[in-house]
Structure 1
Amino acid sequence: MNTETRKEMAARLTSTPGIVAALDQSGGSTPETLRSYGISDAAYQGETEMLKLIHEVRVRIMTAPTFSSERVIGAILFEHTMDRSIGAKSIPAYLWEDRGIFSFLKVDSGREAEQDGVQLMKPMPNLSNLLERALEKGVLGTKMRSVVHSASEKGISIAVRQQFDVASTILKNGLIPIIEPEVLVSSPDKVIAEAILVKEILKNLSELAHGTQVILKLTLPSQPDLYAALVEHPKVARVFALSGGYSLKVACEKLRENTGVIGSFSRALFENLRVSMPNAEFDLNLSQNIEEIYLASTQKGENA
């Protein structure tokens, strides 16, 4: 990908209204996604068959007429998705050239067991190779996720530091990192954990090299506009929100309360989509989901 194309993608990232589709379900979340889509656990055996089925779901979404740059500006891809093609084009090339949608690649290798109230990311021995391949395929950036279970200052500080350390490597390789320290919506002290998280993110942003930017993907906060300082921060290209297990309706209600934050939903995006649907019905339901997330991302406040 040439420099001008990357500049065009980056400009769309920072300034274009829209949503980012999270199509990067991992081995842990894929069975639940398939079940909600109408495919039971008994329909496949082993990871290979499971990944084949979820890939078919992703392709159905990506090739649906409604999945276009009119409302979707980006998509987060699983490694197996990035490596595959639609027609004669790699999926990142298809999304950009045919749909006007840039791509991010999920690069983490899962999470460690919980300690100090958080789950850190596992080591990423193949990160350099992944970043090289992502650049070759025209991917704009990356995504990596850790998990916050409780309001542990020590744990949250370590988790955020780990995210920013890996982000520095990603930035040096010419990609824009999505930093995602997810506070579980089921956390008993979610409000306190989110306040600690914002403090730690701001501290780490201040240490980022001048002229660099990251993306933040965060849990919809209990306190509206909690992320205002992050949205306005010069080292933050954009703030995305994850749905975190909330229904589409509830997630969008909460998203409307947060100015400058856009939706990057997975489970909520897949709501009401079924394998048995004819393509026309599937596309209509997908369009309604995208529209609801888009409006919640772009029209804020009670009277939106």
Structure 2
Amino acid sequence: MNQVQFDRMEHEKGFIAALDQSGGSTPKALKAYGISQDAFHNDDEMFALVHEMRTRIITSPSFNSSKILGAILFENTMDRKIDDRFTADYLWEVKGIIPFLKVDQGLQEEKNGVQLMKPIVGIDDLLTRAKERHIFGTKMRSVIKAANKEGIEEIVKQQFEYGLKIISYGLVPILEPEVDIHIPDKQEAEAMLKESIMKHLEALDPKDKVIFKLSIPTVDNFYEDLMHELHVVRVVALSGGYSREEANERLARNHGLIASFSRALSEGLNANQSNQEFDNMLKNAIDSIYQASIT
């Protein structure tokens, strides 16, 4: 583990940019960016276009370490280069931004009110490559669709099992058991989730460190005690379908909770914008998310 990166992630102000749309969500991300599906004919062309989009974001003057702590990459992005450096090296060496890697491979069908992760095929090879590419940590997402105690316990158990494997490679895992913001029993689901997380944290070795990426809670500051837990480096929030304005407003009410936004970060960016228009739009987004993250 890079101690300089670890100390920055644990103590400094800022947020994590999520640039990790993968195979299934890439066409949607490109469409929002103004590139329709008829602009590409296969996965290679699609991933080349999304890398151009991410390169434009990462190389923008406003995308820097003064407000951004880390960035989450998709595997395909990790293996590509920006200005002749692998993306993770560019992020850290040029921008001072800590690189993370999305490692999950999508969701299973809903059962017991949750969607577990699909088994992560080739996880050991992927983690080995992540180390070689100078990745600091990982991220993996599962989704809670109801306040079902059995299902939530399954989700947390799976997240921690993979998390321990990731820790064994010297990486810091971001565990993301997302609570769907639209469910009627969201508050109850969050209470069950926190209870299960706290129980699993007690079983960790003192040296084991994790980050949590959670939906912005229904009750303000609900995760404050989690932030102070011995094993927890940081608690970060996903935007979860809220507009950037609403996500920022909710986030700002939760002291110590910082953003890890994806769609809310890139909202309004378009392939047809001039560089000046693009940079201004991105700067406004970064500034507003940063302000909401430092409350």
- TM-score band by shorter chain is over 0.9
Residues 26-56 of structure 1: CA deviation (Å, up to 9, x unaligned): 2222222212111122322233322222111
Alignment of 1:1-304 (within 5 A): 6-298=2-294, 300=295
How many angstroms does 1:291 deviate by? 0.5
Runs of 4+ in structure 1 over 3 Å off: none
| Aligned AA (1:105) | L
What is the rounded CA distance, in whole Å, between the counterparts of 2:90 and 2:14 in structure 1? 19
Aligned residue for 1:185, secondary structure, equals coil
What is the rounded CA distance, in whole Å, between the counterparts of 2:48 and 2:70 in structure 1? 22
Residues 86-112 of structure 1: CA deviation (Å, up to 9, x unaligned): 122111111101000010000111111
How many angstroms does 1:143 deviate by? 0.4
Q: CA RMSD in A?
A: 1.0
Contiguous gaps of at least 5 residues in structure 1: none
Identity %: 48
| Aligned AA (2:49) | L
What is the rounded CA distance, in whole Å, between the counterparts of 2:138 and 2:148 in structure 1? 27
Preserved CA contact (<8 Å) 2:104 2:139: yes
Matched residue count: 295
What is the rounded CA distance, in whole Å, between the counterparts of 1:50 and 1:220 in structure 2? 32
What is the rounded CA distance, in whole Å, between the counterparts of 2:202 and 2:143 in structure 1? 22
Question: How high is the TM-score relative to the length of structure 1?
Answer: 0.95
| Aligned AA (1:25) | Q
Residues 102-127 of structure 1: CA deviation (Å, up to 9, x unaligned): 10000111111110011111111211
Question: How high is the TM-score relative to the length of structure 2?
Answer: 0.98
Aligned residue for 2:226, secondary structure, equals helix
| Aligned AA (2:178) | E
